Amino acid sequence: MAESDSSEDEVAAHNTVGNVPFEWYKDEEHIGYDIAGKKIKKKVREDKLDSFLASADNSENWRKIYDEYNDEIVELTKEETRMIRRVLKGMAPHPEFDPYPTAVDWVTIDKAEHPFPDAPEPKRRFVPSKWESKMIVRLVRGIRKGLIKVDDKPKEENRVYLLWGDDRNLTERHHIPPPKPKLPGHEESYNPSLEYIPTAEEVKKYELMYEEDRPKFIPKRFTSMRSVPAYDKAVRESFDRCLDLYLCPRTQKKRINIDPESLKPKLPSRKDLKPYPTTCYLEYKGHKGPVVSISTDSTGQWIASGSNDGTVRVWEVESGRCFRVWELGEAVQHVAWNPSPELPVLAVSVGQDVFLLNTGLGNDEENRRVDDLLHVESHMAHNEPGASEAIISETIVKWSRDDNHGAIRLNHYKTVSSVEWHRKGDYFSTLMPYGESKAVLVHQLSKGLTQRIPFKLHGLPVSTAFHPTRSIFFISTKKNVRIYDLLKQRLIKKLETGVREVSSIAIHPGGDNVIVGSKDGKLCWFDMDLSSQPYRVLNCHPKDITRVAFHRSYPLFASSSDDCTAYVFHGMVYSDLNQNPLIVPLEILRGHASVNGRGVLDCKFHPRQPWLFTAGADSVIKLYCH
Amino acid sequence: MDIDGDAEEASRRIRVRFVTKLKPPYKAPPTSIAIPTNLTRFGLSALVNNLLKAGNADWKTEAFDFFIDGELVRMSLEEFLLAKGISAEKILEIEYIKAVAPRKKEDPSLHDDWVSAVDGSNPRFILTGCYDGFGRIWKTAGVCTHLLEGHTGAITSVCILDPLGSDGRRVVATASKDMTLRLFEVNTEEFQGQLKKIQSFKTLRGHNASVQCIAAEPSGAKICSGSWDCRINVWQANDSDSGGDFMSVKKRKVDIEDEEPKSEGEPISTLVGHTQCVSSVVWPEHETLYSASWDHSIRRWDVETGKDSMNMYCGKVINCLDVGGESSSLIAAGGSDPILRIWDPRKPGTLAPTFQFSSHTSWISGCKWHDNSWYHLVSASYDGKVMLWDLRTAWPLAVIDSHEDKVLCADWWKSNCVISGGADSKLCISSEISVM
């Protein structure tokens, strides 16, 4: 029964041609060769008739099958036919094979009560390993001692490089080419022409020279190459070369080449910012003491000046002629021309008084109106009852008529340092630095009233100004500038100057920018929309700034100082809020002489031309034109 | 031989011929002579004087000025030829004229105050305006014949109406800082040796600020004035219906000194356009007048329509203006800088001045073209100098520094004198200037 399925191994193969188609041997008599090299003859095939007859004769003939491969007739046994039949039926070939044996349950799926190997769990399974702990202690010690390095990064492998290759890239050293030596010329020939040979005097002169200046080579003539001697400086030069090699510094000095011009901020050229005042053409002479204050009228035809000699003068701008003089007796502190063109009134502060002078420069009608205005005052002021608490009593300020000058005289109880007009020309403010709570007063010309500013002053007031368009008032103390809204009566902003002592302030005609001059020579530009700190601080004057001024229409501002100069700047304010003001220094105006340590005491721009007036301690007013 | 000799000295000598348009006593022989090239104007002048002396024994030395190719020689001949690129090998024609320079200074005519305006358009007299508010008429240097009274402010500008009229009676106009203009009638022939005071026969009111300048129409029928109120007013100068009437009124007024003259005038038209003080007006032709202003512009106005037909910006304040020169169309102006500028408005598309003279050192207060010459003009400056200019050279022909203070005004007189007034209260006359 254990017979193999494959019978091929046991049956001796008769085929010797191999696995080739038998058509190849169709016409041959033999088929293959035997082991002796002889042709194996084909068996004669019985034809169809014979085979039919044989099958008719022999009932067992169907058992015979022609094996084409081995060229023989095989007779199938009974087992073999039975096996074929079973295969044809799709059954296992051997009848003994049982396709459906009964399953034997060798391993039960039910859990056994006792484990199969019934040994207890060893102790090592739950006790830490002694050898592992020893190993860990060793590693930890090694890490602590630094013998073992814990590094997450994978170790870098050594770079493979070309040993004999070009090593310039590896050492990153820059090559400095040596200077090219001069090529030898005719004079270095062994036999140069005569014009190259120095004369005896020249050689003597060379010897008198310093060694460094002396020419390195003095041409000489030799009759032939043979007579040229050995180079006499050869040893010396190689020695020097050796010195150079071992004494030269091996580190490369890195020099940064920065053009100092490129570090300057980019500013537009001064030429593009014309016109601005540059040259002094006119001088207004006549004062006998330092000119303390100047003011121009609204048209720019006249300029008024006040001096320590006690006079106020009005000058004609175009000719320099002194048009009118008022003798006020005491040193003038401040003059201010009424900004209204219909009201040619000049406010002058002298000692404790403020005078409102009629200049008489308007036409007849205007002059009459001014006269009336200045006359009625004296009576009105007396009869005014203290209706409002803000109105100041007569002990502080007394309005009276001054007939000598045809003027109103406001007698204050303390020294008045400055007078400022409101833009409409009806209100004006006076400043008494030591007047404490009543230091800043606002007067109304048409009604003859005086009011106190309803704000508490923090410190000694130095300078005041009206806003050029809105009802806003600026008061500067020595450290800070406070900005008040007069209508709402409250503080709007406080500008921190950060300077030692403020001397004067000026408001940009747009009203959003303020410049502050200080006694330590600093000029601060504040952009009030930006911050309460200065937008820019210009530290240009070595001495006190006496006055700062803005031009009414041109983008110019100026500062005058005790160092006898006045600076003119371009100060452009843009309507675009994103763009910061542009400040360019333009010109230093000199010309005033220093008297008693004081220089230029006041500066004012001409209202319509890009011209600057400066008043000096040398009692001269100068006009700088573009 | 001769040619060789010339060639050897060619580097230093040049052949020239002197020509002139002057009359015979000044005519040099028209032969060509070789002269050294390092000669300057003075050398050339001496040479021509020598030539003339050779022909005329009793010749008096005269200063000459020299032209080569229409340009005045102001350096050595050699430098001039090099600079102009003129060949020195041909015979050079040098034209000479009598040097334009004052030969005589008259005594200064003293005023009581600064002399602010001067007019010399009438050869018989000089009219001056003064800061004391009086106009004055001077027959010659130092001889004041008439005093024009009436202004309450300083006089800023004066002009003579129809200055070249035949009779002795002239109307003069003055402008003042008291915002008025006044007209006076003067008879220059009735001078009896003593100062005559004249009241104005007409007052012109209408300006709102100081009147800065005044100019009369060539025929004298109208006058115009510029003022600090930015306006130019045109006024009728003399009412046509009242000729003798006014004389009688005026004669009566002479006795009653205090009374104001009755006649007042209103402006017949106002030219508006300037934005700042009108500092100078000129009225060269019947229909057009020119004005200059502190707003940096020079405008030409059509008087009939009242429109400005030209508007020229120069970037500086202008104080003085005059129109003249070649076919009376060049504009000369000076202002708040030391440069005297001359424009040619006929040149299209450019606003650059054609000439710029910059020898002054301060503001220019006055400039005036010569009546007959196309080339000559006089300028006055606050540096105290009066300069004579020729368009053909960039250097001043002559510098008159007889003033000790600012010069406020200058004019030509009798076409051979320069008159100037200044802040030293003097009227200076520099005479015998041989223009043409």
Checking if the pLDDT of A502 tops 80, the result is yes
pLDDT range class, residue A394, cuts 50, 70, 90: low
Could you tell me if residue A578 is inside a domain?
yes
Lowest-pLDDT range of A99-103, A172-176, A380-384, A542-546: A380-384
Among left, alpha and beta (phi > 0; psi -120 to 50; other), residue A448 is left
Instruction: Give chain A positions within 8 Å (CB) of B276.
Output: 300, 608
Which of B154, B276, B337 lies closest to A608 in CB terms?
A: B276
Q: Distance from CA of residue B95 to its chain's centroid?
A: 26
Contact B277 A299 (CB under 8 A): yes
Domain containing A31 equals: 7-103+136-143
**Predicted confidence (pLDDT) at residue A515 exceeds the cutoff of 80:** yes
| Residue in chain A nearest B383 by alpha carbon | A281
Q: What is the mean pLDDT of chain A?
A: 83
Q: State which of A143, A174, A191 marks the end of a domain.
A: A143
Q: Is a pLDDT exceeding 70 seen at residue A469? A: yes
Is A560 part of any domain? yes
Q: How near does any CA of chain A get to the CA of B361, in Å?
A: 8
pLDDT for the residue B100? 80
Is residue A205 assigned to a domain? no
pLDDT for res A612: 92
Lowest-confidence region among A123-127, A164-168, A206-210, B315-319:
A164-168
Take residue A142 and report the two structure tokens written for it: 């090694």
> Which residue, chain included where needed, has tokens 């050796």?
A242
For residue A171, the model assigns a pLDDT of 54
Minimal C-alpha gap between A590 and chain B (Å)? 17
User: What's the pLDDT at B314?
Assistant: 84
String of DSSP letters for B143-160 = EEEEEEE--SS-EEEEEE
As a whole number, mean pLDDT of residues A38-45 equals 78
Q: Chain B residues with CB inside 8 Å of A299's CB?
A: 209, 228, 277
The pLDDT of residue A412 is above 70? yes
Identify the closest residue of chain B to A275 by CA–CA distance.
Answer: B315
Band of the pLDDT at A48, cuts 50, 70, 90? confident
Interface of B with A (CB under 8 A): 114, 116, 131, 154, 179, 208-210, 228, 276-277, 279, 294-295, 315-317, 319, 336-338, 362-363, 382, 406, 408, 423
Question: Hunting for tokens 């030898």 — which residue is that?
Answer: A184
> Among A300, A301, A611, whose Cβ lies nearest the Cβ of B210?
A301
Q: How much is the average pLDDT of A110-132?
A: 82
Last residue of a domain, one of A123, A143, A163: A143
Min distance A624 CA to chain B CA atoms (Å): 10
| pLDDT digits 0-9 by tens, A433-451 | 887 778 888 888 888 788 8
pLDDT in tens, A309-333: 889 999 988 888 888 898 888 889 8
Asked if residue A470 is part of any domain, the answer here is yes
Bin B327: left if φ > 0, else alpha if -120 < ψ < 50, else beta: left
As a whole number of angstroms, the distance between CA A95 and CA A98 comes to: 8
Q: Per-residue pLDDT for B394 more than 50? A: yes
Report the residue from A300, A319, A363 with minimal CB separation from B179: A363
Cβ proximity of B38 and B80 under 8 Å: no
Yes or no: say if B200 and B186 are a contact pair by the CB < 8 Å rule: no
Cβ-based contacts of B366 with chain A (< 8 Å): none
DSSP characters for A358-411? Answer: E---S-HHHHHHHHHHHHHHHHHHHH----STTBPPTTTEEEEEETTTTEEEEE
Across the A:B interface, residue pairs with CB atoms under 8 Å apart total: 52
The percent of residues above 90 in pLDDT, for chain B, comes to 8
* Secondary structure element (H or E) that encloses residue B319, with its range: strand B318-324
Contact A318 B209 (CB under 8 A): no
Residue A120 lies in a domain: no
Better-predicted residue by pLDDT, A236 or B28:
A236
The whole-number pLDDT of residue A169 equals 56
- What is the mean predicted confidence (pLDDT) over A207-215? 87
Residues of B in contact with A275 (CB under 8 A): 315
**Residue B103: enclosing H or E segment and its boundaries?**
none
Q: Residue A391 has what pLDDT? A: 59
Q: Is residue A294 part of a domain?
A: yes
Chain B residues closer than 8 Å to A322 by CB? none
At B70-115, the pLDDT tens digits run 788 888 888 888 888 877 778 888 888 888 878 788 888 888 889 9
- For residue A290, what is the domain's CATH number? 2.130.10.10
Instruction: Search chain A and give the residue with CA nearest B179.
Output: A363
The contacts found for B137-142 with CB under 8 angstroms, 24 or more apart, are B137/B172, B137/B186, B137/B188, B138/B109, B138/B427, B139/B188, B139/B191, B140/B106, B141/B106, B141/B107, B141/B108, B141/B109, B141/B427, B141/B429, B142/B106, B142/B107, B142/B108, B142/B109, B142/B110
The predicted complex's ipTM stands at 0.84
- Hunting for tokens 């310093």 — which residue is that? A210
Q: What is the mean pLDDT of residues B184-193?
A: 77
Chain B residues touching A609 at Cβ < 8 A: 294, 317, 336
Q: Is residue A231 part of a domain?
A: no
Q: Do A282 and B362 lie within an 8 Å CB cutoff?
A: yes
Model confidence at A624, pLDDT cuts 50, 70, 90, reads: very high
Domain boundary among A143, A165, A196: A143
Residues of A in Cβ contact (< 8 Å) with B408: 319
A55 reaches B (C-beta below 8 A): no
Please list the residues that pair with B110 across neighbouring strands.
Answer: B426
Given this model, what pLDDT does residue B31 score? 80
pLDDT of B239: 59
Query: Considering chain B, what is the average pLDDT of its residues?
Result: 82
Tell me the C-alpha distance between A560 and A544, whole Å.
9
Min Cα distance A281 → chain B (Å) is 5
pLDDT above 90 coverage of chain A, percent:
18
> Can you tell me the distance from the alpha carbon of A212 to that of A220, in angstroms, rounded to the nearest whole number?
21
pLDDT confidence of residue A379: 46
* pLDDT at position A605: 92
Rounded to 5 degrees, φ, ψ at B365 are -105, -15
Please report, for residues B21, B126, B190, B300, the alpha-carbon distance to residue B141 in angstroms, rounded to integers and kept in the order given. Answer: 32, 9, 18, 36
Calculate how close chain B gets to A363, using CA atoms only, in Å.
6
Beta-carbon separation of A299 and B423 below 8 A: no
Which of B228, B316, B406 has the CB atom closest to A301's CB atom?
A: B228
Do A319 and B408 make contact, defined as CB atoms within 8 angstroms?
yes
* Alpha-carbon distance A302 to nearest alpha carbon in chain B (angstroms): 11
Q: Is the CB of residue A363 less than 8 Å away from at least one CB of chain B? A: yes
pLDDT at A376: 58
- Classify residue A267: in a domain, yes or no: no
Which pLDDT score, from 0 to 100, does residue A9 have? 47
Which helix (H) or strand (E) segment is A554 a member of? none
Give yes or no for A299 touching B (CB within 8 A): yes
Domain total in chain A = 2
Mention every residue, 6+ apart, whose C-beta is less than 8 A from residue B221.
B236, B237, B238
**Average pLDDT of A414-425?**
88
Eight-state DSSP code of residue A518? E
Per-residue pLDDT at A139 exceeds 90: yes
pLDDT tens digits for B101-154? Answer: 787 888 888 888 899 999 888 888 888 999 988 888 888 888 888 888 888 888
Contact A310, A332 (CB under 8 A): yes
Which segment of A435-444, A517-526, B314-323 scores lowest on mean pLDDT?
Answer: A435-444
Cβ separation B423–A626 shorter than 8 A: no
Per mean pLDDT, which range of A374-388, A411-425, A459-473, B108-122 is the poorest? Answer: A374-388
Candidate from B116, B382, B408 with C-beta closest to A281:
B382
Q: Is A319 on the interface with B (CB under 8 A)?
A: yes
